[in-house]
Amino acid sequence: MRFLRFRSWLDEMHRLTGGFEVVAYEQVRRHVGVDASHVYGGWLAILSVWCESKGIAYQGVPIGTIKRFITGKGNASKDAVIAAVQSRGFAPADDNEADALAILLWAIETQGGVR
């Protein structure tokens, strides 16, 4: 059910925003356990199929790239990422939201903007 809800959420976000042409996501290369690896693979499969079916470009961004971009240090702590995002005028609720904002800023500043 989690994957069906994810696909529905993607549809809703696409509709509510008036559409988008690019999706950037956190590319995870190392997982704490087998279950986490399987779940990530499921999310990635749903995202890939959804983007391909709609002609939307998608790109994984390695965690080190995100951290280096937002803090200047590829192995920065979660707190450092949160602080760097806050210094850009955002108020992330947690480290996950800070990561998402860092990816958005990375896409805007390094990939020619968000369409």
Residue 57 belongs to domain with CATH number: 3.30.420.10
* Domains identified in the chain, total number: 1
Inside any domain, residue 115: no
Q: How confident is the model at residue 11 (pLDDT cuts 50, 70, 90)?
A: very high
Cβ neighbours of residue 28 closer than 8 Å, sequence gap 6 or more: 40, 63
Least confident of 11-25, 29-43, 51-65, 79-93: 29-43
Inside any domain, residue 20: yes
Inside any domain, residue 71: yes
Q: How confident is the model at residue 85 (pLDDT cuts 50, 70, 90)?
A: very high
Tokens encoding 79: 């707190």
Tokens encoding 98: 């800070």
Least confident of 4-8, 25-29, 48-52, 81-85: 25-29
Q: Which domain holds residue 30?
A: 2-110
Q: In this predicted structure, what is the pLDDT of residue 25?
A: 94
Q: How confident is the model at residue 112 (pLDDT cuts 50, 70, 90)?
A: confident
Checking if the pLDDT of 114 tops 80, the result is no
Inside any domain, residue 57: yes
CB 70 within 8 A of CB 115: no
Inside any domain, residue 47: yes
Q: In this predicted structure, what is the pLDDT of residue 28?
A: 84
